[in-house]
Amino acid sequence: MSVSGAGEPKYDSAGPVPPAAAAMSRTVWRGGAVSRSARSIPEEVPIALTYNRVTHAVMLATPADLEDFAYGFSLSEAVISAPAEIEALEIVAVPDGIELRMELAQPRLDALTRRQRYLAGPSGCGLCGLDSLAATMRTVPRVPDGLRLGAELVQHAMRSLAPAQPLNDLTRAVHAAAFWTPDQGLALLREDVGRHNALDKLSGAMLRHGLSPAAGVVLLTSRVSVEMVQKAAFLGAPILVAVSAPTALAVRVADAAGITLVGIARQDGFEVFTHPDRILLQAVPHVA
Active-site residue list: 125
Cα distance between residue 192 and residue 68, in whole Å:
12
State the sign of the Cα–Cα–Cα–Cα dihedral 87, 219, 183, 162.
positive
The secondary element (H helix, E strand) that includes residue 166 is helix 166-171
Question: Cα angle vertex 79, ends 78, 81, to 5°?
Answer: 70
Cα distance between residue 216 and residue 237, in whole Å:
8
Give the length of the chain: 288
Cα distance between residue 114 and residue 17, in whole Å:
33
Query: 185-192 and 217-220 as β-strands: parallel, antiparallel, unpaired?
Result: unpaired
**Can you point out the beta strands (E) in 18-62?**
21-30, 33-42, 45-51, 54-61
Residues 243, 264 contacting (CB under 8 angstroms): yes
Angle formed by the axes of helices 66-76 and 226-235, to 10°?
90
At position 170, the amino acid (one-letter code) is L
Query: Residues 137-140: contacts with CB within 8 Å, 24+ apart?
Result: 138/230, 140/229, 140/230, 140/233, 140/234, 140/253, 140/256, 140/257
